[in-house]
Amino acid sequence: MTNSKDTDLDVTKLISNMGKSIGESEINSLSLDAQKSTIELQEQINSASESLLNVKKPVLAKQDSPEENAEPEIKHKTLEEAMSDLNELTGMKEVKKQINELTQLIKINKLRKEQGIDGSDMSHHLLFLGNPGTGKSTVSRIVADIYWNLGVVEKGQLIET
């Protein structure tokens, strides 16, 4: 870092060498102004440096409050509403048929388990393939509501990727 006295001398030399046509009093005036500016600048730099050194990093304390840990509430439609939404979709005749059959199979297996009859455990994973705009996400949201109403999933959240 340069010393402010060195800077003052450099400024004075520069002003002195700038021209012999400038009067002695003008040179002294310019030299004093330059010295004042240099001192003010040095004070600003020192102040900024102190401010930067004194900055404390915020300490983030994790507080376990019920509001923070609570999962967002998911609004679910009733089974009847979800089935109605599915059946109101335009086209998708085969998809509607398969989901209706799947819903009936899940209901039957649930009743069998309640009666103590050993039912076959099956995977309820579904994969929707197709071009953009063909209703994959719409149908999957409806299926999520159906699954939640039938007790297949606990939370009924849908993960779209």
Residue 20 host element (H or E)? none
* Contacts by 134-138, CB closer than 8 A, 24 or more apart: 135/89, 135/92, 135/95, 138/89
Q: Write out the two tokens for 9.
A: 């001398």
- What pLDDT, on a 0 to 100 scale, did the predictor assign at position 28? 63
Q: Around 15, how many Cα atoms within 13 Å sit in the side-chain half-sphere?
A: 20
Q: pTM of the predicted model, to two decimals?
A: 0.53
> pLDDT tens for residues 42-85?
777 777 666 656 655 445 445 555 555 566 667 788 999 999 99
State the pLDDT confidence band at 2, using cuts at 50, 70 and 90. low
Q: Counting Cβ atoms within 10 Å, is residue 34 exposed (0-12), middle (13-18) or buried (19+)?
A: middle
What local confidence, expressed as pLDDT, does residue 83 receive? 94
Is residue 138 predicted with pLDDT exceeding 70? yes
Helix 4-18 and helix 24-53, axial crossing angle in degrees, nearest 10? 150
Find out whether 82 and 145 touch, Cβ atoms under 8 Å: yes
**Average predicted confidence (pLDDT) for the chain:** 76
pLDDT value at residue 142: 93
